Structure 1
Amino acid sequence: MDRLQQDYSVATAQIWSNLPAGAVPDRPGVYLGEFDQKQRGIIKAIMMEATGTAPDEGFDELLQINNADDYIGTVSTDYKAGYASYNTKIAFLGTPDRTGTWELYYGGHHLAFANTYRDGALVGATPSFRGVEPFPRFEMNGRENMPLTQERAAFTALLRSLSDDQREAARLEGRYRDILAGPGEDDAIPDTQEGLNVSELSADQQDLLMAAVATYVDDIDAADAARYMEKYRGQLADTVLGFSGTTEVNTEDDYVRIHGPSLWIEFSLQSNKSTGEIGNHPHSVWRDRQDDYGGNTE
């Protein structure tokens, strides 16, 4: 029980990673594989309550990313890495209650879910990291899995809509091999925005951008997602779109980001690492510069 429920601290909440269990043994919490079937059913109910219900979003996305680890476990010979959905961890940082501060922590390979609550209300849904390999589709655990394809499709639709002048303004200098604001990089978001100001987009293009944002925000429960979407739409005049690589978002080092006063989203494609298969896979993160870790600093 002491590993499942721990004292709340930002320092503990910051121990998240895109790497598999064998590379990050100090993630807080208890491995899913340590619970019996009934207990895992309770965990599923908790996570479903805290997440979105749409296909390929919310809980369904978490499940598919876990399925990817089971797939990797069937093809990888790196047995020390611990590729398995049962090596995802869950923890309660603080005491779940209607008073006080606590975080629902759920993390593993290519996955970081961090909902922070204060006095019974969600005050932070970030950092929220998602990645998946293989990509874009694979069969595992009795189903076809295609997590993060909806994020890529939304970004592709947005970038395709840009005029030549808009595309030139949005293009970032240099090559991005991975996201900037990943694990251990809480201070990596630049103060200076770079790219195309969203105020230069048409109403239809702004809707395409918000559709891309929704593929991240809809990972949390509907009521809180609506609140965040309203917040981010209200900040569009001060939000910037940037990309590097191709507009199809299907090539190694393709990179897209949305940078607002509080909103930060990145989507990056890089070569496969875990499966040994030819192709690329995404790393992606949603951050909120005001609400990361619930706005807490300690």
Structure 2
Amino acid sequence: MTTGEQDTAAAMAEAATAWLDTLDRDQAASGTGDGPRGDDAERRRWFYTPTDHGGLTLHDQAPAQQQRAMRLVASGLSEAGFATVAAVMGLENVLDRNQGWPERPYRERFRDPGLYYLRVFGDPASGTWGWRFGGHHVSLNNLVVDGRVVATTPCFLGTNPAGTPLLGGGTSRPLGPTEDLGREIVRGLPPELLDRAVLLETAPPDLVTANRAVVGPGDRPLPTSAIRRESPPGPVEPVPGTEEVELTDAPQGVPASVLDDRGRELLRRLLSSYLDRVPAAVSPAARYEDDAALDEVHLAWAGPLEPGRPHYYRLQGPQLLLEWDNTQDDANHAHSVWRNPASDFGLDVLGQHAAREQNGGSGPS
């Protein structure tokens, strides 16, 4: 464990405690949950649609409480990551205007920048606890075990609109580099590699892994209606016609090992746009400074290569799965997610922790 990892976990615990200390009984009932376990279904339930994400919303808190809530959010993000999350939340106002100020009978305000939910799982003073922050187009999931941040995934960020005009002819694109770098790598491939990289001429309608708690081979996009808390329980049929982009155990597309020097540098920057969302002390981004680690990352694409057209890509390697799609609303509505299939929500670390406790503290650390 590094000092940076300890410092990040300590900052999270301090911020969480400061927020929890402000909650009254009713607020605490919404804002807290049971401590992390391997089978804790609620902690592993996450969304990116405008649904109930579970927790205490910002608009159900006083301004001082909101500030402490955002302090906790910031403790799990880099400076750039926090700025991007804040921008995504603010886009709810832009979306409200763009859609004509829509009304829904089940919600006082449909596009609501205050409808972001925070929940703390367990006691931050215990050393093993977690927290989740989410709302439309944001989902942050963090786990601390024995005073160390062991999981920061799934980590989802989306933008709607993906691009917004600014005065003076500018454009606001909070996730612009995450889109542009992927396209630039693929467009720079020679024809024989381009054929390997492009899985399908038409992009799937959404992320292949959707909001599943556990991802694995055979995953395909789910209908939007299934990515909501109020969705009926039971199996859901994936979107038809997406077989060619389904998740496979062996990565599809082209490995970094076949990219030229420029392509490899662009790939490192693309990885950074996902992995540097969190503080440097807990980000795996430095791992890919090693050429051997980078070589194992594969890039796959679906859809046209022209900007402004619906498209999808994913990066896949050991302990790594990154997905991007910009397909909805005339390709002006983007989704992106960073996942670690081996350790989303820290399930592997929780299992090891439980085994050590059963063995009286012995076993692998």
Instruction: Kindly provide the amino acid, as one letter, of the partner of residue 30 in structure 1.
Output: L
1:66 equivalent in structure 2: 89
Q: TM-score w.r.t. structure 1 length?
A: 0.86
Q: Distance in 2 between the 1:37 and 1:209 partners?
A: 41
Is the aligned partner of 1:259 residue 2:306? no
Partner of 1:200: 258
Q: Secondary structure at the match of 1:106?
A: strand
Relative to total residues, which structure has the larger helix share, 1 or 2?
2
Does the alignment pair 1:160 with 2:187?
yes
Deviates more, 1:178-187 or 1:59-68: 178-187
Matching residue of 1:275: none
Partner of 1:270: 327
Q: Is the 8 A contact 2:45 2:213 kept in 1?
A: no
Change in CA separation of 1:249 and 1:159 when aligned onto 2, cut-off 3 Å: farther
**RCO higher in structure (CA 8 A, sep ≥6):** 1
CA distance in 1, matches of 2:30, 2:172: 31
60 and 279 in structure 1: CA distance in 2 versus 1, 3 angstrom threshold: same
Q: Shift of the alpha carbon at 1:245? A: 1.5
Counterparts of 1:1-298 in structure 2, within 5 Å, are: 1-7=28-34, 8-9=36-37, 10-20=40-50, 24-25=51-52, 27-54=53-80, 58-74=81-97, 75-79=100-104, 80=106, 82-97=110-125, 99-100=127-128, 102-137=129-164, 145-173=172-200, 175=202, 176-184=204-212, 186-187=214-215, 188=219, 189-225=247-283, 228-234=284-290, 235-252=293-310, 254-272=311-329, 279-296=331-348
CA distance, structure 2, for counterparts of residue 127 and residue 271 of structure 1: 22
CA, structure 1 residues 248+196, in 2 after alignment: closer, same or farther (shift >3 Å)? Answer: same
One-letter amino acid of the counterpart of residue 64, structure 1:
A
Query: Unpaired runs of 5+ in structure 2?
Result: 1-27, 220-246, 352-365
User: Which has the greater radius of gyration?
Assistant: 2
Contact 2:163–2:171 (8 Å) recurs in 1: no
* Other structure's SS at 1:2 match: helix
**Residue 226 (structure 2) aligns with:** none
Give me the whole-angstrom Cα distance separating, in 2, the residues matched to 1:112 and 1:37: 22
The answer (yes or no) to whether the contact 1:181–1:285 under 8 Å persists in 2 is no
- Taking the aligned partners of 2:66 and 2:192, their CA distance within structure 1 comes to 52
CA distance 1:5–1:130, change in 2 (3 Å): same
Give the distance between the partners of 2:122 and 2:267, measured in 1 at CA: 36
Helix, strand or coil at the partner of 1:38: helix
Deviations along 1:159-198, one digit per CA (max 9) or x if unpaired, are 2322222212211136322111121362334213211121
Q: Alpha-carbon deviations, 1:130-181, whole Å to 9, x = none? A: 1111121256xxx974211121122122223222222122111363221111
Q: Could you tell me how far apart the structure 1 residues matched to 2:119 and 2:261 are?
A: 42
Counterpart-to-counterpart distance in 2, 1:47 and 1:126: 14
The whole-number CA distance in structure 1 between the counterparts of 2:264 and 2:346 is 27
Q: Distance in 2 between matches of 1:83 and 1:98?
A: 37
Q: Secondary structure at the match of 1:33?
A: helix
Whether contact under 8 Å (1:5, 1:95) holds in the other structure is no
RMSD (Å), alpha carbons: 2.4
How many angstroms does 1:290 deviate by? Answer: 2.2
Query: By how many angstroms is 1:77 displaced?
Result: 1.6
Query: Cα distance 1:238–1:144, how it changes in 2: closer, same or farther (>3 A)?
Result: closer
SS at match of 1:264: strand
Tell me the CA shift for residue 51 of structure 1.
0.5
Kept in 2: contact 1:52–1:221 (CA 8 A): yes
- For the residue of structure 2 that corresponds to 1:267, the secondary structure is strand
Q: Show structure 1 runs of 5+ residues with no match.
A: 273-277
Identity %: 23
